[in-house]
Chains A and B, each alone.
Chain A
Amino acid sequence: MQRVTELNELMRKKAQMLLENGIVNRIIGWKKGEFIYDRTPAVFQDSDELSKLIYDGFCGANLSKYLIQESKKEGKILALLKPCDTYSFNQLIKEHQINRENVYVLGIGCPDMIDINKIRSKGFKGILKIEEKEDELIIDTLYGQKRIKKEKALLEKCLSCKGKQHVAYDELFLIDNMISDNGSINRSMPDCEEASGLKKVGIASRDSRPKKDPYEMVEKIEAMTPDERFAFWRSELSKCIRCNACRNVCPACVCVKCIFDNDRSGIASKANTDAFEENMFHIIRALHVAGRCTDCGECSRVCPQQIPLHLLNRKIIKDINEFYGQYQAGADTQTPGPLTSFKHDDVEPYIIMRKGGHK
């Protein structure tokens, strides 16, 4: 806990320095809330406000999408981006959504993000305080102290973490292992690839936790009979309340006006019904972000009904990898997307049918 406090102090100092030196005129990060877990994305303009800036295991929200609007404003903004957020950032650069010159990306290490709703669903009530101790979370509740293994409390997206490397940054500020065991600040052990012309301090956060295969569940669903699969998705999608949180939070959903909000489209669907068309919303959305989705997992994180929406995206990512070769959206800002470029050796539809159409 003390470590987190210290790291936050350092980060605030860093942000303050960049602000006072005029390198940036504001900072986008997360703000403290009423509880231990309710961190809200926030833009800070004054040094005095920085005491409310916080970064810890509850900052799951991906800040990249906010940069679409923020990078169009006057002056440069300091963006605190976690490794997986930088994939979304790159993808948005590729799609000309973010004005790169107006963003100073400070890549920050990620301690893995905790899912408060997951903790609750395991029967923890009245959560007052959460402390990390080795691989456990010690949770003080109104009903006494309880413990849970940290890996059981992580956000779904963190279970299949893409790794602790930032794919975009102006400077790295890796707080995770920044303080060595003897308490001194370690800034001289770079162990990740140096990006040309960019500054880097600190070391990449170590990641020893075994990762869950992101396609494990997708494969399970593929193995179902069509009827079982239909029943699975009908059941999950029928929980949808059409709050649009998945769409609005999605860094790949960048349409100025969504077709589902457009009366003239003929398919505007404000009413929530259990009809098949309603369920199609999620399938259409997944197809619309196909090849652009970085698998940031925000859709599933924000779903109030805990629908595993990321599985739709992962199915498409898996298919793309099989048909067009391994591809990670947002890994860089240059590589043409597999679905937005044409190559002579691209698979033909009939080959897709033959290779995988039965799935």
Chain B
Amino acid sequence: MLKIYKNKWPELFFKISCSRELYMPIEKDGQIWFGKWNEDAKVRFDELNTVKSPKDFFFPQSENIVAFKAKGKNISILEKRDESQPFVVFGIRACDAESLKILDRIFLAEPIDTFYKTRRENATIITLACSEPEETCFCSTFEIDPVNPGGDIATWIIDDVLYWQSLTKKGHTLTEDVKGLFEKADQQDEEKIYSHKKGVKVILSKLPLQDLSLEGFKNGNMLAIFNSPKWRELSQACIGCGTCTFICPTCHCYDIRDYDTGHEIQRFRCWDSCMYSDFTRMSHGNPRHSQIERFRQRFMHKLVYYPANNEGVFACVGCGRCILKCPVSMNIVKVARTWEANKALEVKNDE
């Protein structure tokens, strides 16, 4: 364990940015999101969640895949890849770090998404332990430990000191580069961290969503939940925007389209949202005709289909972004409450 005082942080950021692109939670026009660090950047480690999650670094909202150019009878294929730079994301919370594992199961399974894979390989993740959880947090539902956030390097901020613990080979490599700026943490520091963690755990035990249970989704209730009349009521207010999907760290559906630039055909992929009317649209139309079905798809995917295909792992990490940002305050917690453990039996009877 190493430590570094606040007055030396800019030096640390600078040192990291010399060899790799460095992204951190930065304030821009009143919003805090992961941006590229420079000396003028306003770093905001105090904010719990950035507006968008760090999934953009691995799975950008839109990216060019390939381009085609026709000349006479020949078509040439132009590679448009730009994901080969090494980079560091500093300040990822435990929930967002966990979300990458959920995305890994999708993009790193056969057929491997090489864009995603290259970016994952090029990234060094520096996590930041949570000190002040919000009332909207429910990571404990997914057994995520916000005071031991993992990643390649884990950090803790207590008062004016940042503690740094390298956890992987990638972490060790980066640590070697910047080690000169740090001091070694001693026994007293270890004790300080221990009691800090204990204090945060006390707050965690008081969170209003602490009791949220997803047991009701675990017992093979797929059809009963799918066919439940509750979806009508739950989806009623949904305006069909993509806010929840775009700020979600685990939503990963995308669309691939071609665009005629006038000189060539540019094939790009971009995030899609199951809430949209043209999602998975085929020649006959969208298989999900109404917002009820689209809304249901999002939550079935997170709470039923994904776990069914991934050893029971839910595609949610409890970051709470959707709770605060949904224009009509509808969210996964309200959906989950509908089928909480004690209601699991009713689900079966509904059938």
Q: Which residue of B46, B135, B233, B329 contacts A142 across the interface (Cβ within 8 Å)?
A: B135
Cα–Cα distance between A242 and B246 once the two chains are bound (Å): 9
CB under 8 Å from chain B, chain A span 115-141: 116-117, 120-121, 123, 125-128, 141
Number of contacts between A and B (CB, 8 Å)? 132
By a CB distance below 8 angstroms, the chain B residues around A298 are 327
- The reply to whether the CB of B282 lies closer than 8 angstroms to some CB of chain A is no
- The reply to whether the CB of A270 lies closer than 8 angstroms to some CB of chain B is yes
Tell me the minimal C-beta distance from A116 to chain B in angstroms: 7
CB under 8 Å from chain A, chain B span 320-351: 323-325, 327-331, 333-334, 337
Q: Judge whether A245 and B52 touch: CB under 8 Å.
A: no
19 contacts between A and B (CB under 8 A): A34-B209, A34-B334, A38-B329, A42-B236, A116-B324, A126-B133, A241-B247, A242-B61, A243-B241, A243-B245, A244-B241, A245-B241, A248-B241, A249-B239, A271-B268, A272-B61, A302-B327, A304-B51, A304-B247
| B interface residues (Cβ-Cβ under 8 A, vs A) | 28-31, 46, 48, 51-52, 61-62, 132-136, 203, 206-209, 233, 236-237, 239-243, 245-247, 255, 257, 268, 270-273, 276-278, 323-325, 327-331, 333-334, 337
Chain B: CB-nearest residue to A143: B132
By a CB distance below 8 angstroms, the chain B residues around A245 are 239, 241-243, 327
Q: Judge whether A242 and B242 touch: CB under 8 Å.
A: yes
Given contact pairs A241-B61, A249-B327, a sample of 14 additional A-B residue pairs in the complex whose CB atoms are under 8 Å apart: A34-B209, A34-B323, A35-B208, A40-B237, A40-B330, A42-B236, A125-B132, A128-B135, A142-B203, A142-B206, A235-B28, A241-B243, A245-B327, A301-B327
By a CB distance below 8 angstroms, the chain A residues around B245 are 243
By a CB distance below 8 angstroms, the chain A residues around B237 are 40-42, 61, 66
By a CB distance below 8 angstroms, the chain B residues around A273 are 62
Q: Judge whether B134 and A126 touch: CB under 8 Å.
A: yes
Q: Judge whether B206 and A239 touch: CB under 8 Å.
A: no
Tell me the minimal C-beta distance from B337 to chain A in angstroms: 7
Q: Judge whether A305 and B31 touch: CB under 8 Å.
A: yes
- The reply to whether the CB of A75 lies closer than 8 angstroms to some CB of chain B is no
Cα–Cα distance between A38 and B209 once the two chains are bound (Å): 14
Q: Judge whether A38 and B323 touch: CB under 8 Å.
A: yes
Q: A128-B208, A243-B246, A306-B31 are in contact. Are A34 and B333 (CB under 8 A)?
A: yes
Q: Judge whether A270 and B257 touch: CB under 8 Å.
A: yes
Cα–Cα distance between A121 and B331 once the two chains are bound (Å): 21
Q: Judge whether A243 and B329 touch: CB under 8 Å.
A: no
- The reply to whether the CB of A282 lies closer than 8 angstroms to some CB of chain B is no
By a CB distance below 8 angstroms, the chain B residues around A127 are 135
By a CB distance below 8 angstroms, the chain A residues around B257 are 270-271
By a CB distance below 8 angstroms, the chain B residues around A41 are 236-237, 328
Question: Sorted from nearest, which 5 A-B pairs have the closest CB atoms?
Answer: A302-B327, A271-B62, A38-B329, A271-B270, A245-B241
Tell me the minimal C-beta distance from A89 to chain B in angstroms: 17
Is the contact region of chain B dominated by helix, strand, or loop, or is it mixed? Answer: loop
Q: Judge whether B271 and A272 touch: CB under 8 Å.
A: yes
Q: Judge whether A304 and B325 touch: CB under 8 Å.
A: yes
Tell me the minimal C-beta distance from A192 to chain B in angstroms: 30
Cα–Cα distance between A328 and B217 once the two chains are bound (Å): 50
Tell me the minimal C-beta distance from B338 to chain A in angstroms: 12
Tell me the minimal C-beta distance from A302 to chain B in angstroms: 4
By a CB distance below 8 angstroms, the chain A residues around B209 are 34
Q: Which residue of A236, A242, A248, A270 contacts B255 across the interface (Cβ within 8 Å)?
A: A270
By a CB distance below 8 angstroms, the chain B residues around A39 are 329
Chain B: CB-nearest residue to A241: B246
By a CB distance below 8 angstroms, the chain A residues around B135 are 35, 126-128, 141-142
By a CB distance below 8 angstroms, the chain B residues around A306 are 29-31
Cα–Cα distance between A257 and B247 once the two chains are bound (Å): 24
Q: Which residue of B29, B48, B240 contacts A239 across the interface (Cβ within 8 Å)?
A: B29
Q: A61-B327, A301-B327 are in contact. Are A270 and B272 (CB under 8 A)?
A: yes
By a CB distance below 8 angstroms, the chain B residues around A235 are 28-29
- The reply to whether the CB of A43 lies closer than 8 angstroms to some CB of chain B is yes
By a CB distance below 8 angstroms, the chain B residues around A61 are 237, 327-329
Q: Judge whether B268 and A241 touch: CB under 8 Å.
A: no
By a CB distance below 8 angstroms, the chain A residues around B246 are 241-243, 304
Q: A239-B31, A270-B270, A272-B61 are in contact. Are A40 and B247 (CB under 8 A)?
A: no
Contact flags A17-41 to B (C-beta < 8 A → 1, else 0):
0000000000000000111011111
- The reply to whether the CB of A228 lies closer than 8 angstroms to some CB of chain B is no
Q: Judge whether B48 and A125 touch: CB under 8 Å.
A: yes
By a CB distance below 8 angstroms, the chain A residues around B271 are 272
Most interface-central of A34, A272, A302, A306 (chain B CB within 10 A): A34
Tell me the minimal C-beta distance from B96 to chain A in angstroms: 16
- The reply to whether the CB of A219 lies closer than 8 angstroms to some CB of chain B is no
Contact flags A37-52 to B (C-beta < 8 A → 1, else 0):
1111111000000000
Cα–Cα distance between A75 and B243 once the two chains are bound (Å): 33
Cα–Cα distance between A263 and B260 once the two chains are bound (Å): 13
CB under 8 Å from chain B, chain A span 177-218: none
- The reply to whether the CB of A322 lies closer than 8 angstroms to some CB of chain B is no
By a CB distance below 8 angstroms, the chain B residues around A43 are 236
- The reply to whether the CB of A95 lies closer than 8 angstroms to some CB of chain B is no
By a CB distance below 8 angstroms, the chain B residues around A272 are 61-62, 270-271
Chain A: CB-nearest residue to B46: A123
Tell me the minimal C-beta distance from A216 to chain B in angstroms: 18
Tell me the minimal C-beta distance from B281 to chain A in angstroms: 9
By a CB distance below 8 angstroms, the chain A residues around B247 are 241, 243, 304
By a CB distance below 8 angstroms, the chain B residues around A128 are 135, 208
Q: Judge whether B277 and A261 touch: CB under 8 Å.
A: yes
Cα–Cα distance between A319 and B240 once the two chains are bound (Å): 32
Chain A: CB-nearest residue to B135: A126
By a CB distance below 8 angstroms, the chain A residues around B277 are 257, 261
Tell me the minimal C-beta distance from A71 to chain B in angstroms: 15
By a CB distance below 8 angstroms, the chain B residues around A304 are 51, 243, 246-247, 325
Q: Judge whether B31 and A142 touch: CB under 8 Å.
A: no
Tell me the minimal C-beta distance from B55 to chain A in angstroms: 12
Cα–Cα distance between A341 and B65 once the two chains are bound (Å): 48
By a CB distance below 8 angstroms, the chain B residues around A301 are 327
Q: A126-B134, A271-B270 are in contact. Are A117 and B61 (CB under 8 A)?
A: no
CB under 8 Å from chain B, chain A span 234-286: 235-236, 239, 241-245, 247-249, 257, 261, 263, 270-273
Cα–Cα distance between A298 and B31 once the two chains are bound (Å): 19
Tell me the minimal C-beta distance from B232 to chain A in angstroms: 10
